[in-house]
Each structure stands twice: as structure tokens, then as C-alpha cells.
Structure 1
Amino acid sequence: MVESARARRESARARHDAAGQSRRRAARGSAPAALLRAALALVLLLAAVGGALAAPAPARAADKPTVTLSKSQAGTGGSVTVKGKGWRPNALLMMLVCGQSAPAVGVPGGTNSCANSRGRAVTTDGDGTFSKSLPVAEPPQACPCVVHVATVTGEKAAADAAFKVAGHPVRPLPARPDGGGRLSVLTDTRLDGSSGLLTWFGAPPSRRLVFTVGNVGSVPVKDPVFQVGTSHGVFAPQWEEQQWRGTIAPGKKAQITLSVDLPAGAHGDYLVSLRYADRVLAEQPWGVGRPWGVTLFWILLCVVVPAAVFRVGMALVDRLRPDRHRRPPGRHRTSRVGEFTLRLPRLRLPQSAVTAERDTATRTAASGTATTNLPWFSPDADPGAPAGQLSAPSDNGPTTKGTS
């Protein structure tokens, strides 16, 4: 009986150990699968979140910037509310009323045909929309007119809305300058030229924009009109039209040189843009040095002018103040005789006078005549007497003290 109970206990223990080992083996076998399932779930979750975040971006990128106006016509002095959407978030925009323009062709004349002095700047919201009032002004060119909105910084974007300025003349749009041909820049543009001495003193910097274009169209291009614009910092380019005389046949190329000028005293980083048929062909940076000659001129002016004024003032003070040492006219102003005599030149006798005086002294010494009779000299001790006529006093002669 005891042995049978012991055998049952051992068999139960063996079954329990076998069950524990099987559970442990099952747990060890299921751990990699669990980890794999957890990693897969995490990847799916991240993909879903990324897709949700990135889904609106293509929609915004696909949106083209648009502009709408509160009214289609207004007179000078009025205003119109401009609204836009589809722009970059937090983008700085410039709003202008431009002439000789249409929404289909844009602003061919550039900002030179716009009322730049009455333009307004606006910043878009986080979703790329804006709304702001724009004062109405007559542009320098005749209508048809548009309200032109363009980015100032970052990626370039623009949109136009048709607008009529009441009382402003209307003329038809000029013909397209390409005439059916298409030009493309074949080589990199460059700026030739250098600044001279006058530019260092504030003269207008100038360069030559050199580039090579080819006609990739099917018709020749005759006397094409290019637009050269210069921009500084965040400001929009100022376009200037320049016509090149010549004809470019289809499939041919030509080297073109256009002048680029900046205003007097310009310095800093500029960007030169080349545009043809409402399309920017090339851009070239231009670093203009500071005109240090102007700075040097102002520094010298600030030093020389005060010094000259000081000298003139001191001269006036010296002329107007009373002279305490003034002397009557006709008399020398020097009161000390020593200073006066020291300033006289040293007198020298002529050589003939010196020779005559020496001969006179020699004849006087030879004749033996005394030329000097002083009361304290005896005749024998006369300095003017010859050396042979002098005699020593006698020992036996009387003395002036008397006899002892």
C-alpha cells in the first residue's frame, strides 16, 4: 500500500513537471511571435498617423493661389477688399493695382506699370488665406487693369484679378513680344565690367549682362524685347525694357549684351533677373561694395569745417578785441633796447678801411709820438711809446713816499 501511494505521488509529480515544461516551452516559442505582432502593429499605427498628417499637404500643394475682390470697379480714392486662398502659410505678400495687364497674361510691364506708392503688404494665415483692404489709385499705364498679388520672400507665386479703375483711360493690350517664337538661355549668364574710382565715391554702378539665347520655336524672332530687373533684399525687382536689334532664326543662337545700372550710392547684395515673354530666363547675383569714398568725404568734412570755423572765429576775435600794448604811430612797438639792438645786423668795415687804420697805427709807432696821455700813466710807461724808449725806474731816485 505504501509503495503504491508513493508511486502515485511520483507519477503525479512527473506529470506536473512535464506540464510545467510544456508551458515554458510554449511561452518561449510564443515570445518572438508576440514581439513580431507588436512591432507590426506599431508600424501600422505609425503609417496610419503619417498618412493622416500628410494627407492635407498634397491638397494644399495642389491648390493654386487665387485672389477675389469685393467689387470689380472703384474710383480713385476708394478701396477694395482683397481676399486670397491657396497661398503658403505665413507668407509675406504685396498687393498692387497695375495697368496694361490681364489675368490671362499677368503683368507684362512688371511693377513699373503698377501704382507702387499705394500698394499694401499682407501676411497670410496658417492656412494660407488673407483678407485686407487696398486703396484704389490710378496706375501709370492705361487699363485694362488688375489687382496683382505676389510673394515678396521665399518661393515665387503670383495671382491677378481683373479690376476697373473708374475714369482711367483704357487701351488695348500690346502684342506679345515673342511673335510666336520661343527663346531659351543656352549658357550661364555673367556680368562683365568693373567699378571705377567714381563708383567708390558714390557714382551709379553699372555692368553688362551677357548671355546666349537660342530660338527653340518654329518662327524667327526679330528685335526681341527683354526685361532686365534688379532687386535688393526682400523688395520686388524693378523691370526695365531693353530691345535687342537683330533676328534669331529657328534653331539658331545669338549672344546678347544688355546694360544693367543701379542708382547712385547703391551697395549690398543685388539680384539681376532676365525676363522674356512673361518668363524669367535667368538670374545672376551681384555684390556691390560700399562707396567708402563718400564716408571718407563726410569724415573729412566734419573735421575740416569745424577747424576752418574755429580759425575764422579766432581771427575775428583777435581783430575786434582791444590792444593793451598799442603804441602811438611812428614809434617802434619794442620797448626794450636790447631786443632792438640784437636784431640789427653785424657791421663789418671794408678791407680798405682796415688796411688804412693798420698803416696809421704803424706810422704813429715809428714816429715815437704818444697817442695816449692818461693821468694815471707816467710818460715812461706810455702804452703808445715804443718798447726801446721805456726805461726801468732808478734805485736812487726819490720815491713818492718821501725819504726815510
Structure 2
Amino acid sequence: MSGRLRIPALVAVLALLLPPLASTAAAAGGPSVTLSASQAGTGGSITVGGSGWRPHTLLMLLICGQAVPSRGVIGGTNSCANGDGRAVTTDAQGHFSRKLPVAEPPVPCPCVVHVATVTGAQAAADAVLEVAGHPVRPLPAPSGGGRLSVLTDTRLDGSSGLLTWFGAPPSRTLVLTVGNPGSQSVKDPVFKVGTSHGVFAPEWDDQQWRGTIAPGKKAEVRLPVELGAGAHGDYTVSLEYGGKVLAEQPWGVGRPWGVTLFWILLALVVPTAVFRVGMAVVDRVRPPRAGGLRHRGPRLPALALRLPRSGATDGESTATSTTSTLPWFTPDSVPGAAGRLSAPHDDTTAGPADPTSRTTPTRKGLT
């Protein structure tokens, strides 16, 4: 009798334990996405929910074409309706719920709602969505077994030069080691190298690596990366191959202080040059002051050399020359002239014949 009672009690205990075990397994499986409707038309909206994500993580919600959850989004974000995407932040338990407008992606369906992390460790999940009225085309056949995976951490080689300090485009070389775990060789693979600034979507650039990677072998891949002129701040370099992001590498770009210094010098030199040109123009057009002198300062008049008049004494000649040479003195105030004029001299000395001279004796006629 006691054995029969233990069996129902054991079954009840197992029934209570099964739901917690099932939810724990679902949480261990990684992030998940649920939709309020599996089909919707353009112009409507659906509610996207999720669980199993990292707490307080920024996520991006997009409707993408040419994608299935098993193969991901072929072509990356270029196959998504980026203009109608929405962002959401998970709560402390890693859950979120957000309304998403339904828009047609740029490529045909099959379509999915693609949810991916914006910052931090890469994580993504997809949920199938049928966009009513949007064309549907079969997915391209997968390639013949050539797959690549990153074996080592990526790094950026190179440094900034003097030209970069003055605003030249910063450039680096993305270096990583990839391996081929597939069954066929990969020849001349085409990688997509993307650069993103902050929370903005990366800008992708196709770059082909020349070489062949045999099955089970590895090779070092070096790809150039270049930003725009004057770029500065925190950037992220992403590497994508076969529609899957293989690696991401942060890149901190310093501010081009040479450009700032140039503008400071320009702000000082140009006003100084304009001021000097303006002063030169004012000096040209300003009328002269009284007496014919400009503002630059007085100029001494040219010395005039005059010969003394015939019959004039040395003192008179000196006084006349001094008076004509120094016009701002009167004849009576010429320094040293009074002494020279009053010097004694012989009035009887014969001088040149001058009818106007007082010292010349008067000649009388013959008697």
C-alpha cells in the first residue's frame, strides 16, 4: 500500500521539475527572437520579442531578404531595409520587446527579422517573416565546400605619419590568419572589409586576396584599410566572408592637430597682413600736411650752393649763403653771423670795380 502511494508522488515531483529544466535548456541555447505574426504586409508593423541576450545591450532590428536562419543573411546588411530598422536595449534579464514597421528589403525573399548586437561581443538571431506582396526567389546554391575561419586574433599594422597629423587619410593593414576547414580549396577569396564609426553601420569594401588555401591549411591574410581625410575618433574594422562576419578590430584614430594649428596660424596671419595693406593704402591716399610734409617726419631741404656776389665781403657772402641755406633763420639771428659781419676790415682795400659798393672810390675825370 505504501509503494502505490510513492509512485504518484514521484510523478508529481518530476512534473514540477521538468518546466524549469526546459527553460534552462532554452536559455543555454543562446539568444532567440519571436514575432507576433509570421506574415505581414508593407505599411503594417509587428512586435519583435527576444530573450537570452546580454543584459543592457543595444540591439538592431532589421528586415532582410535572401536569408534563412540556417544560412544567415546572404550579402550582409546590404540585403536589409536599413532605413526602417529599429534599435532596442535589453533589460536586466536579457529580454526585449519592440514594434518594427514592415518594409520591403532591397532583395527578394525568403525574408527574416535579423536581430544583432551593435556593441560588445557579436551575437545575432533570425526569425522567419513572410512579407506579403514581395517577390520570392530561391537562394543561390552554396559553394562547393570552401569555407574559411579565423584562427588567430586580428591586428592592425602600421602607424600614422606627419601627413596624417595634417589631415591625410589614416591607413592600416588588417592582418589575420585564416584556415580552411572545408573539403575543397579556396582560391583568390574575396573579403569584405568594413569600417564603422560609433554606432553607425559599417561601410563595406570588397578586397580580393590572391592565393589558394588548401583544405586543412592556413594562410596569413593582409588587407589594406583606409579612412577618409581628417577622420578621428573610435572606429571598428570588420571582416566578412561568405555573408558571415569573421572578425572585428577596434581602431582609435587620433585628432589631426596639424589642421587645428594651421587654422590658428591662418587666423593670426591674415588679419595682420590685411592691417599692413590697409595702412599702406591709407599712407598713399592721405593728403600732405601744411608745408608739404607727410606724417612720416620732417625732411631737410636740399642744400643750395650759391656763389657770392662780386664785390661782396666775405662776411656778407657767408651771411647770404647761410641765410639762403637755412631759411628758418632770419638774417639777424644767424648763429655767428653778427660776429663775422662786425669783424674789422680795411675799407681802403681795393676791391672789384662795383659801382654800387660804398668802398669803391669815385673816379674823377681828367683835368
Q: Return the TM-score normalized by structure 1.
A: 0.59
Structure 1: how far apart are the matches of 2:221 and 2:33? 37
| Alignment match, 1:293 | 258
Per-residue CA shift, 1:70-108, capped at 9, x if unaligned?
334445444332222232333221112223322222223
Q: Say yes or no: does 1:220 pair with 2:185.
A: yes
| Alignment match, 1:79 | 45
Tell whether the 8 Å contact from 2:196 to 2:202 is kept in structure 1 after alignment: yes
Is the alpha carbon distance of 1:185 and 1:160 closer, same or farther for their aligned partners in structure 2, counting shifts above 3 Å? closer
Match of 2:157 among 166, 182, 192: 192
Tell whether the 8 Å contact from 1:226 to 1:242 is kept in structure 2 after alignment: yes
Structure 1: how far apart are the matches of 2:347 and 2:205? 121
Q: Say yes or no: does 1:116 pair with 2:82.
A: yes
Is the alpha carbon distance of 1:124 and 1:276 closer, same or farther for their aligned partners in structure 2, counting shifts above 3 Å? same
| Alignment match, 2:345 | 377
Per-residue CA shift, 1:177-227, capped at 9, x if unaligned?
5x3133344555443344344432333322222333333332222332323
Structure 2: how far apart are the matches of 1:164 and 1:302? 60
User: Aligned partner of 1:258: which letter?
Assistant: L
Q: Say yes or no: does 1:247 pair with 2:206.
A: no
Q: What SS is found at the alignment partner of 1:156?
A: coil
| Alignment match, 2:115 | 149
| Alignment match, 1:136 | 102
Q: What SS is found at the alignment partner of 1:226?
A: strand
Is the alpha carbon distance of 1:102 and 1:287 closer, same or farther for their aligned partners in structure 2, counting shifts above 3 Å? same
Q: What SS is found at the alignment partner of 2:73?
A: coil
- 1:292 CA displacement: 1.6
- 1:122 CA displacement: 1.0
Tell whether the 8 Å contact from 1:111 to 1:239 is kept in structure 2 after alignment: no
Is the alpha carbon distance of 1:164 and 1:306 closer, same or farther for their aligned partners in structure 2, counting shifts above 3 Å? farther
- 1:165 CA displacement: 4.1
User: Aligned partner of 1:95: which letter?
Assistant: L
- 1:291 CA displacement: 1.4
Q: Return the TM-score normalized by structure 2.
A: 0.64
Tell whether the 8 Å contact from 1:101 to 1:107 is kept in structure 2 after alignment: yes
Structure 1: how far apart are the matches of 2:22 and 2:216? 44
| Alignment match, 2:170 | 205
How many residue pairs get aligned? The number is: 298
Tell whether the 8 Å contact from 2:63 to 2:114 is kept in structure 1 after alignment: yes
Q: CA-atom RMSD, angstroms?
A: 4.3
- 1:267 CA displacement: 1.8
Tell whether the 8 Å contact from 1:97 to 1:115 is kept in structure 2 after alignment: yes
Match of 1:258 among 196, 208, 223: 223
Tell whether the 8 Å contact from 1:176 to 1:277 is kept in structure 2 after alignment: no
Is the alpha carbon distance of 1:219 and 1:383 closer, same or farther for their aligned partners in structure 2, counting shifts above 3 Å? farther
Tell whether the 8 Å contact from 1:94 to 1:150 is kept in structure 2 after alignment: yes
Structure 2: give runs of 5+ residues left out of the alignment: 1-19, 308-340, 352-367
Structure 2: how far apart are the matches of 1:292 and 1:100? 45
Q: What SS is found at the alignment partner of 1:146?
A: strand
Match of 1:183 among 140, 148, 151: 148
User: Aligned partner of 1:377: which letter?
Assistant: H
Is the alpha carbon distance of 1:158 and 1:334 closer, same or farther for their aligned partners in structure 2, counting shifts above 3 Å? same
Match of 2:69 among 103, 123, 132: 103
| Alignment match, 1:6 | none
Is the alpha carbon distance of 1:212 and 1:62 closer, same or farther for their aligned partners in structure 2, counting shifts above 3 Å? closer
Is the alpha carbon distance of 1:309 and 1:63 closer, same or farther for their aligned partners in structure 2, counting shifts above 3 Å? farther
- 1:61 CA displacement: 4.2
User: Aligned partner of 2:174: which letter?
Assistant: L
Tell whether the 8 Å contact from 2:53 to 2:90 is kept in structure 1 after alignment: yes
| Alignment match, 1:88 | 54
Larger Rg: 1 or 2?
A: 1
Q: What SS is found at the alignment partner of 1:137?
A: coil
Structure 1: give runs of 5+ residues left out of the alignment: 1-53, 350-372, 385-404
- Bigger mean CA offset, 310-319 vs 227-236: 310-319
Structure 2: how far apart are the matches of 1:289 and 1:318? 48
Is the alpha carbon distance of 1:315 and 1:383 closer, same or farther for their aligned partners in structure 2, counting shifts above 3 Å? same
Structure 2: how far apart are the matches of 1:138 and 1:311? 64
Structure 2: how far apart are the matches of 1:191 and 1:145? 35
Tell whether the 8 Å contact from 2:157 to 2:173 is kept in structure 1 after alignment: yes
- 1:289 CA displacement: 2.0
Structure with a larger share of its residues in helix:
1
Is the alpha carbon distance of 1:72 and 1:105 closer, same or farther for their aligned partners in structure 2, counting shifts above 3 Å? same
Is the alpha carbon distance of 1:181 and 1:299 closer, same or farther for their aligned partners in structure 2, counting shifts above 3 Å? same
- 1:276 CA displacement: 3.1
